[in-house]
Amino acid sequence: MSTQTAWPTGVIARYLTVGGATVDLTHRLTVHNPPKPFATLASCAGCPATEEVSHYRTNWGSEEHNPEAADADARIWAQSHAETCRALPKPTA
Ligand SMILES: [Zn+2]
Protein backbone atom coordinates (compact mmCIF):
# COMPACT_ATOMS: atom_id res chain seq x y z
CA MET A 1 0.00 0.00 0.00
CA SER A 2 1.78 3.09 -1.21
CA THR A 3 -0.16 5.36 1.14
CA GLN A 4 1.59 3.75 4.11
CA THR A 5 5.16 4.31 2.95
CA ALA A 6 5.32 7.58 4.91
CA TRP A 7 5.01 5.69 8.18
CA PRO A 8 8.25 5.36 10.12
CA THR A 9 9.88 1.95 10.07
CA GLY A 10 8.38 -0.39 12.61
CA VAL A 11 5.06 1.39 13.07
CA ILE A 12 2.39 -1.29 13.16
CA ALA A 13 -0.62 0.95 13.70
CA ARG A 14 -1.33 4.66 13.75
CA TYR A 15 -4.23 6.58 15.23
CA LEU A 16 -5.17 10.18 14.51
CA THR A 17 -5.96 12.20 17.63
CA VAL A 18 -8.70 14.81 17.81
CA GLY A 19 -5.91 17.40 18.07
CA GLY A 20 -4.38 16.29 14.77
CA ALA A 21 -1.38 14.44 16.20
CA THR A 22 -0.82 10.72 15.82
CA VAL A 23 -0.47 7.84 18.23
CA ASP A 24 1.94 5.25 16.84
CA LEU A 25 2.18 1.63 17.86
CA THR A 26 5.60 0.03 17.62
CA HIS A 27 7.21 -3.08 18.97
CA ARG A 28 10.02 -2.65 21.46
CA LEU A 29 12.92 -4.92 20.53
CA THR A 30 15.50 -6.65 22.66
CA VAL A 31 19.19 -6.00 22.11
CA HIS A 32 19.66 -9.63 21.16
CA ASN A 33 20.74 -10.65 17.69
CA PRO A 34 18.36 -11.03 15.99
CA PRO A 35 16.26 -8.57 18.00
CA LYS A 36 13.01 -9.95 19.32
CA PRO A 37 9.96 -7.89 20.22
CA PHE A 38 9.20 -7.96 23.94
CA ALA A 39 6.57 -5.24 24.28
CA THR A 40 4.17 -3.12 22.29
CA LEU A 41 4.59 0.60 22.75
CA ALA A 42 1.89 3.18 22.04
CA SER A 43 3.32 6.68 21.86
CA CYS A 44 1.54 9.98 21.25
CA ALA A 45 3.37 12.46 19.02
CA GLY A 46 1.43 15.39 20.46
CA CYS A 47 2.01 14.90 24.18
CA PRO A 48 4.30 12.84 26.43
CA ALA A 49 1.74 10.05 26.92
CA THR A 50 2.99 6.55 26.27
CA GLU A 51 1.79 3.09 27.15
CA GLU A 52 3.97 0.03 27.08
CA VAL A 53 2.36 -3.39 27.16
CA SER A 54 4.62 -6.37 27.78
CA HIS A 55 4.35 -9.39 25.50
CA TYR A 56 4.91 -11.52 28.58
CA ARG A 57 2.10 -11.73 31.04
CA THR A 58 1.49 -13.78 34.09
CA ASN A 59 -1.62 -15.88 33.88
CA TRP A 60 -2.61 -18.11 36.80
CA GLY A 61 0.96 -18.09 38.06
CA SER A 62 2.64 -19.03 34.79
CA GLU A 63 4.24 -16.63 32.36
CA GLU A 64 2.99 -16.72 28.84
CA HIS A 65 4.16 -14.98 25.68
CA ASN A 66 1.23 -13.29 24.02
CA PRO A 67 2.15 -10.48 21.62
CA GLU A 68 -1.32 -10.47 20.05
CA ALA A 69 -2.92 -9.67 23.41
CA ALA A 70 -0.33 -6.94 24.01
CA ASP A 71 -1.05 -5.44 20.59
CA ALA A 72 -4.77 -5.53 21.34
CA ASP A 73 -4.31 -3.77 24.70
CA ALA A 74 -2.03 -1.16 23.12
CA ARG A 75 -4.56 -0.54 20.36
CA ILE A 76 -7.32 0.00 22.93
CA TRP A 77 -5.13 2.50 24.81
CA ALA A 78 -4.16 4.27 21.57
CA GLN A 79 -7.75 4.47 20.43
CA SER A 80 -9.01 5.94 23.70
CA HIS A 81 -6.07 8.34 23.97
CA ALA A 82 -6.64 9.50 20.36
CA GLU A 83 -10.25 10.27 21.24
CA THR A 84 -9.30 12.54 24.14
CA CYS A 85 -5.89 14.06 23.31
CA ARG A 86 -6.11 17.61 22.07
CA ALA A 87 -2.39 18.30 21.91
CA LEU A 88 -1.17 19.53 18.56
CA PRO A 89 1.57 17.64 16.77
CA LYS A 90 5.05 18.98 17.36
CA PRO A 91 6.24 21.20 14.53
CA THR A 92 8.89 19.45 12.49
CA ALA A 93 12.13 21.39 12.50
ZN1 LIG B 1 -1.53 12.72 23.41
Work out the angle at residue 7's Cα, subtended by the Cα atoms of residues 52 and 46, and round it to the nearest 5 degrees.
55
- What confidence tens digit (pLDDT) does each residue in 43-53 have? 999 999 999 99
Report how far ligand 1's centroid is from the alpha carbon of 5 (Å). Answer: 23
Per-residue confidence (pLDDT) for residue 1, from 0 to 100: 46
Nearest to 22 by CA among 72, 81, 69, 74: 81
Per-residue confidence (pLDDT) for residue 2, from 0 to 100: 47
- What confidence tens digit (pLDDT) does each residue in 14-38 have? 999 999 999 999 999 999 999 999 9
> Which string of b and e fits 9-19 if b means at least 16 CB within 10 Å?
eeeebbbebeb
Report how far ligand 1's centroid is from the alpha carbon of 93 (Å). Answer: 20
Report how far ligand 1's centroid is from the alpha carbon of 16 (Å). Answer: 10
Report how far ligand 1's centroid is from the alpha carbon of 45 (Å). Answer: 7
Mean pLDDT of the chain: 91
Domain residue spans of the chain:
8-84
Question: How many whole angstroms from its chain centre is CA 7?
Answer: 13
Contact 86, 19 (CB under 8 A): yes
